[in-house]
Amino acid sequence: MTAKPIGRVLLEIFGIIFGVILGFILNEWRVAAKQAKIVETSITAMKTELSDNYDRVASAREYHLDLYPDILIILRDDPSKIEEFQRTKFRGIRPAQI
């Protein structure tokens, strides 16, 4: 066996270290890209859900605001109107289905 010159050994060591570091960098880039895609998908899903929930709450709110004056009349002035109210306007409590 012959001894390798020190320069060649250092070059081989440098090549190996460079390859390992390059592998780490590429793997980190791949993981970051995957995480960015997951974050983007999650944000889009949250925005869609918030928008849907807002529409549902707004729909339920309109119904309740429509009933409010009649409920006040029944509670304050004329409890006898409750039967007519139940027949003509009341369609359940209709909570927002979120």
* pTM for this predicted structure: 0.55
Q: What are the boundaries of each domain within the chain?
A: 32-98
Please report where in the chains the tokens 């209709």 appear, as a residue.
Answer: 94
DSSP three-state, residue 85: helix
Q: Confidence class of residue 49 from pLDDT cuts 50, 70 and 90?
A: very high
Please give the Cα distance from 98 to 89 (Å, whole number): 24
pLDDT of residue 94: 63
Amino acid at 9: V
Q: Confidence class of residue 47 from pLDDT cuts 50, 70 and 90?
A: very high
Q: Which among 48, 56, 42, 44 is positioned nearest to 98, based on CA atoms?
A: 56
pLDDT of residue 25: 97
* pLDDT per position as a tens digit, 12-44: 999 999 999 999 999 999 999 999 999 999 999
96 Cβ contact partners less than 8 Å away, ≥ 6 residues apart? 53, 56, 57, 59, 60, 61
